[in-house]
Amino acid sequence: MPRSRTAKFMHMFYILVIAVLLTLLFVERQQHTAPLTREELSTELERQQDVLNAHIERLHSQTEQQFTELATRFERQQQPASITSSAPASSQNPPVNQMETPTEAAADTSTRSMQSVDYAQLGAAMTNDFDARQREFSMQSVDPYWADPSRALIRDALATSPATQALSIAGLECRSSICQLDVSQQNPDSLQPAQILQALQTINQNEEGLRYQFAGQPLDDSYRVLVIRSQSSTEANDTDD
């Protein structure tokens, strides 16, 4: 019930109660055999007025309490409908991994950057079997006849490419057929694997006829590239013969 209608109802109810009480008071006065003096009448009227005010106060309190209970009950009845209507909107939100650390987020960014490399553009010189090549590298011995020129070609390629001049070589080790190259930058998140791999492609253009393949993978604060010996132009000619 709106509050304005409740107020009108209360007003009419109070008037009715007052009229009934005044009627009872009039009947009670008429039943007295002895007439009341002016002073006694005034005292009696004050007493009846006090009784009437007490009745009105109790009725007012009871009405306010009932109105509050009705309002509370109405709100409770409306609450489930609101929750039900808002549930589909909340279910549309995708789950969020709140446990992801900044390091994991950076690694994920680097991984996505590596995956965005256009391997078709890099050509057949790119290979994805990083783990297998890493195990192969760990079991190799050093062949200086292949390792020394390969190391020099890698350093020159990174130093002369404008895209990689800001990078630093954190580690470079060449063995019999694989070189392990770790490239770092002051801001690891800005490492661009595609630029690193494209710069290394230039080492296939050498006078010695050496050919290389590459496998890349991001580390915590750097990017690792395995530079893998491929069939040289001399070996290819020997095979054709």
Please write the tens of the pLDDT for every residue from 6-58: 766 777 777 887 887 788 777 666 655 556 677 888 888 888 888 888 888 88
Asked if the model's pLDDT at residue 124 lies above 50, the reply is no
Same domain for 190 and 152: yes
Closest CA to 212 of 224, 225, 222, 223: 225
The tens digit of pLDDT for each residue in 164-173 reads 888 899 999 9
Same domain for 213 and 130: yes
Same domain for 126 and 59: no
Closest CA to 70 of 154, 131, 9: 9
Same domain for 199 and 154: yes
Residue 110 within a domain: yes
CA gap 230, 236 in Å, rounded? 10
CA gap 156, 200 in Å, rounded? 9
Residue 93 within a domain: no
pLDDT value at residue 50: 86
Residue ending a domain, among 54, 88, 122, is 88
Same domain for 57 and 124: no
Instruction: With cut-offs at 50, 70 and 90, classify the pLDDT of residue 87.
Output: very low
Same domain for 44 and 139: no
Residues 6+ away with beta carbon under 8 Å from 179: 147, 150, 151, 154, 172, 173, 226, 227
Which strands form 222-230's sheet, in the order they lie side by side?
Answer: 168-174, 178-184, 222-230, 211-218
Residue written as tokens 């990689």? 164
Residue 168 within a domain: yes
| For residues 214-239, average pLDDT | 77
Domain that holds residue 76: 3-88
DSSP element (H, E) containing 155? helix 144-160
pLDDT value at residue 58: 84
Asked if the model's pLDDT at residue 89 lies above 50, the reply is no
CATH number reported for the structural domain that contains residue 153 in this entry: 3.30.980
Same domain for 29 and 78: yes
Residue 97 within a domain: no
In this prediction the pTM is: 0.47
Asked if the model's pLDDT at residue 64 lies above 50, the reply is yes
Q: For the stretch 217-227, what's the b/e string if a residue is b when 16 or more beta carbons lie within 10 angstroms of its beta carbon?
A: bbeebbbbbbb
Residue 100 within a domain: no
Residue ending a domain, among 44, 60, 88, is 88
Asked if the model's pLDDT at residue 195 lies above 60, the reply is yes
Instruction: With cut-offs at 50, 70 and 90, classify the pLDDT of residue 126.
Output: low
Same domain for 226 and 166: yes
Residue 94 within a domain: no
pLDDT value at residue 2: 53
Same domain for 112 and 84: no
Same domain for 208 and 129: yes
Same domain for 81 and 14: yes
| For residues 115-142, average pLDDT | 69
The tens digit of pLDDT for each residue in 68-84 reads 888 787 777 776 544 44
Number of domains the chain contains: 2
pLDDT value at residue 225: 92
Mean pLDDT of the chain: 75
Same domain for 147 and 50: no
| For residues 185-193, average pLDDT | 76
| For residues 194-218, average pLDDT | 88
Residue 39 within a domain: yes
222-230 vs 168-174, strand pairing mode: unpaired
Residue ending a domain, among 59, 88, 117, is 88
Least confident stretch, 39-43, 115-119, 183-187 = 115-119
Residue 96 within a domain: no
